[in-house]
Amino acid sequence: MSSTVLLGLELAYWQQTAIRVLVGLTALLLLTGGVVYLYLFKFVSFMQSRLGPMEAGPFGSLQLLAEVGKWLQKEDIAPDRADKFIFGLAPAVVLASTFLMFVVIPAGPNAVIADLHTGIYFALAVSSLSVIGVLMAGWASANKYSLMGALRAGGQLIAYELPLILSVVGVVIMAGSLNLQDIVAAQANGAIFGWDGIGNPFILSQFVGFVIFMIAVQAELTQSPFDMPIAESELVAGYQVEYSGIKFLVYFIAEFATAVAFAAIASTLFLGGWDLPASWGIGDGAMHVIGPINISIKAVLLVGVVFWARFSLPRFREDQLQALAWKVLIPLSLANIVLTSIFKVAF
Amino acid sequence: MTGLVALLAQVGTEAQVDTTFDVPANVVFAVTAVFMIVAALRVVTTKNIVHAALWLIIVLGGVGVQYLLLQAEFVAVTQFLVYLGAIVVLILFGVMLTRAPLGVSTDLDNDLKPLGIGAGLVLAVVMGFALIQSFGADQLDFRAYDSALGLDDPQTAAAGRTGAVADGIFGQYLIPFEMISVLLLAALIGAIVLARRD
């Protein structure tokens, strides 16, 4: 990684790191807020033939700030018999797992917090840590609905972790690297049977992997139709039932920030990431500006797909949910890996 | 203790920094090691079985941090994914699915406690002695290691140590790797056979 950033300034390592983390956090919170307003407030409202929030700001655009203000001033209650320390630590574990995913997602030639060799592997590993926080929350709440919800979440996240990782292996074989910048470069510099007009986005050759990845993401986010862990008609709100005030707000932010993170990873793996096809001849200087915008648009559109499915489909039963993961998605992703390896060697 | 003295001496005389001695890495090692030892003791002394599993997270996560200090990025991430993301989660899942009361449990100790302490001490002494005897005088020199692998040249270091691990697994150690895969497959099928009712 070059120590020279956009303007040719020479910065010390800690200064670079501080800037990267600050810019990363700002982008993450802006995107998460935008996604919540765009989809949770407006998109679903129009799908249900209503207007959604209209009062706070033009077209209700400041509604999110009002909601955050409301949660911040609510009393922070913990049940009397709860394990208070674990109860308080659980939301932080979930949020930390989400923030760590953003560390490796590139948004430009230099715009990545840490360009790890094991990029995608690291992102998937830290995303699996959130289930520890969920189990901690369900147990420490001293509430049987919480515990049931946490156990359902645990079983579901373990089951869908496998197709999530296996569906990525196809892309890693195609690109020949775990590093996300290398995967982006492989798509920008690639060619489809010798034609390099749009590079070679892996969604074309890895469409099965893309579909499996998005289904597994839907389950990892516990969004409907995979929302058994927080099924409101049976479990009230699952592991979140005892949380209020700022701790509930943390779960809320983590849920939608994780959606943005997974969408950004999916657009990096399958849609070409921040880069435009190399044949278009756009230099690094312009890509410093175009790159972040490019990946943000792709990520927000993919979050839209997640929410579209969430608001359209009814909930799976627990056994159907497990059967889909173990009997359909995992065999399918294994077959995808075998076929990809054969084609990679053959061509 | 000598490590600490050497460390303080290093901080004092920055002019003559030994190429093989990395001060920040040693500070992080010491801090992580203290956390790990305290957490490991709490795993066996805590009065609540879920707390024991949660203390185990710090021990296993600390191992991952130590791998990172040895610049073994791939092994560290694997440690986080397998031990924290899967094994600890399965332990927590199993404990909560059966019996996980809040508060203090009185039935976690049994009569074999002195025997366990004895076995642990014997193991620590034997392994510590073996390690110090074998590697006590060795110094870890990442620069020498990297130049042996051709990783010190930015042009050839594209895949980094992760690439070196991959080359090792699918090149020189292919047969042992496949043997382990078959062994794990056998264990998997065995578990399914045992769990089936018919």
User: What digits encode the pLDDT tens for the residues A109-131?
Assistant: 877 887 788 889 899 999 888 88
Question: Is the CA virtual torsion A109, A112, A115, A120 positive or negative?
Answer: negative
- Do the Cβ atoms of A117 and B159 come within 8 Å? yes
Residues B98, B88: Cα–Cα separation, whole Å: 16
Residue A72, min C-alpha distance to chain B (Å) = 29
User: Percent of chain A beyond pLDDT 90?
Assistant: 10
| Mean pLDDT along residues B147-172 | 69
Report the pLDDT value the prediction gives residue A7, as an integer from 0 to 100.
54
Report the pLDDT value the prediction gives residue B146, as an integer from 0 to 100.
65
Chain A residues near residue B84 by CB distance under 8 angstroms: 128-129, 132
User: What digits encode the pLDDT tens for the residues A316-338?
Assistant: 887 888 888 888 999 999 999 99
What SS3 class is residue B78?
helix
Q: For chain A, what are the domain ranges?
A: 75-346
Chain A residues near residue B50 by CB distance under 8 angstroms: 86, 139
Nearest CB to B93 within list A135, A142, A182: A135
The larger pLDDT score, comparing residue A229 to residue A107, is at A107
Report the pLDDT value the prediction gives residue B14, as an integer from 0 to 100.
46
The larger pLDDT score, comparing residue A82 to residue A217, is at A217
| Mean pLDDT along residues A304-309 | 89
- Do the Cβ atoms of A121 and B74 come within 8 Å? yes
Contact assessment for residue A159 and residue A318, using Cβ atoms and an 8 Å cutoff: no
Hey, of B102, B104, B149, which one would you mutate to test binding to chain A, going by the most A CBs within 10 A of its CB? B102
Report the pLDDT value the prediction gives residue B15, as an integer from 0 to 100.
45
Residues B95, B114: Cα–Cα separation, whole Å: 25
Residues A178, A163: Cα–Cα separation, whole Å: 17
**If you measure CA to CA, which chain B residue comes closest to A127?**
B85
Residues A201, A192: Cα–Cα separation, whole Å: 9
Chain A residues near residue B51 by CB distance under 8 angstroms: 86
Residue A57, min C-alpha distance to chain B (Å) = 42
**A215-219: long-range pairs with CB below 8 Å, 24+:** A215/A163, A215/A324, A215/A329, A216/A160, A216/A161, A216/A163, A216/A164, A216/A167, A216/A325, A216/A329, A217/A164, A217/A262, A217/A263, A217/A266, A217/A306, A218/A306, A218/A309, A218/A310, A219/A156, A219/A157, A219/A159, A219/A160, A219/A321, A219/A325
**What is the model's pTM?**
0.83
Distance of CA B2 to the CA centre of its chain: 23
Instruction: Please name the residue ranges forming H helices in chain A.
Output: 13-35, 44-47, 63-73, 84-101, 119-127, 130-140, 144-175, 180-189, 202-205, 207-220, 232-235, 245-270, 284-312, 318-323, 330-346
User: Is pLDDT at A221 greater than 90 in this prediction?
Assistant: no
- Do the Cβ atoms of A117 and B74 come within 8 Å? yes
Band of residue B176 on the pLDDT scale cut at 50, 70, 90 = very high
Q: Give, as one character, the DSSP assignment of residue B168.
A: I
User: What digits encode the pLDDT tens for the residues B83-116?
Assistant: 988 888 888 888 888 877 776 777 777 788 889 8
Rg (CA), chain A: 21
User: Is pLDDT at A259 greater than 70 in this prediction?
Assistant: yes
Residue whose tokens read 């100790």: B109
- Burial zone of A134 (CB within 10 Å; 0-12 exposed, 13-18 middle, 19+ buried): buried
Q: Give, as one character, the DSSP assignment of residue A224.
A: T
User: Is pLDDT at B59 greater than 90 in this prediction?
Assistant: yes
Hey, of B42, B54, B90, B104, which one would you mutate to test binding to chain A, going by the most A CBs within 10 A of its CB? B54
| Mean pLDDT along residues B3-7 | 51
| Mean pLDDT along residues A293-308 | 89
Instruction: Please name the residue ranges forming H helices in chain B.
Output: 2-12, 23-45, 49-69, 73-79, 89-98, 113-135, 142-149, 160-167, 174-195
- Do the Cβ atoms of B73 and A132 come within 8 Å? no
Report the pLDDT value the prediction gives residue B6, as an integer from 0 to 100.
53
| Mean pLDDT along residues A133-138 | 88
Nearest CB to A136 within list B54, B77, B81: B54
User: Is pLDDT at A10 greater than 80 in this prediction?
Assistant: no
User: Percent of chain A beyond pLDDT 70?
Assistant: 97
User: Is pLDDT at A179 greater than 50 in this prediction?
Assistant: yes
- Do the Cβ atoms of A132 and B97 come within 8 Å? no
User: Is pLDDT at B180 greater than 90 in this prediction?
Assistant: yes
What is the CB neighbour count within 10 angstroms for residue A99? Answer: 19
Which residues of chain A approach chain B closer than 8 Å at the C-beta?
Answer: 81-83, 86, 116-118, 121-122, 124-126, 128-129, 131-132, 135-136, 138-140, 142, 147, 150-151, 154-155, 157-158, 161, 177-178, 182
Q: Which of these, A218, A159, A170, lies nearest to A335 by C-alpha position?
A: A170
Residues B157, B159: Cα–Cα separation, whole Å: 6
Nearest CB to A139 within list B57, B74, B100: B100
Residue whose tokens read 């989809």: A39
Chain A residues near residue B80 by CB distance under 8 angstroms: 125-126, 129
- Do the Cβ atoms of A117 and B86 come within 8 Å? no
The larger pLDDT score, comparing residue A34 to residue A196, is at A34
User: Is pLDDT at B13 greater than 60 in this prediction?
Assistant: no
DSSP state string for A262-326: HHHHHHHHHS-TTPPPGGG---HHHHHHHHHHHHHHHHHHHHHHHHHHHHHSPPPPHHHHHHIII
| Mean pLDDT along residues A261-274 | 89
The larger pLDDT score, comparing residue B167 to residue B33, is at B33
**If you measure CA to CA, which chain A residue comes closest to B160?**
A117
Question: Taking CB atoms and an 8 Å cut-off, how many pairs form between chains A and B?
Answer: 81
pLDDT mean across residues, chain A: 84
The larger pLDDT score, comparing residue B123 to residue A22, is at B123
**If you measure CA to CA, which chain B residue comes closest to A121?**
B77
The larger pLDDT score, comparing residue A331 to residue B26, is at A331
Q: Which range (A67-76, A301-310, B105-114) has the least confidence?
A: B105-114
Report the pLDDT value the prediction gives residue B185, as an integer from 0 to 100.
93
Contact assessment for residue A117 and residue B71, using Cβ atoms and an 8 Å cutoff: no
Report the pLDDT value the prediction gives residue B72, as an integer from 0 to 100.
80
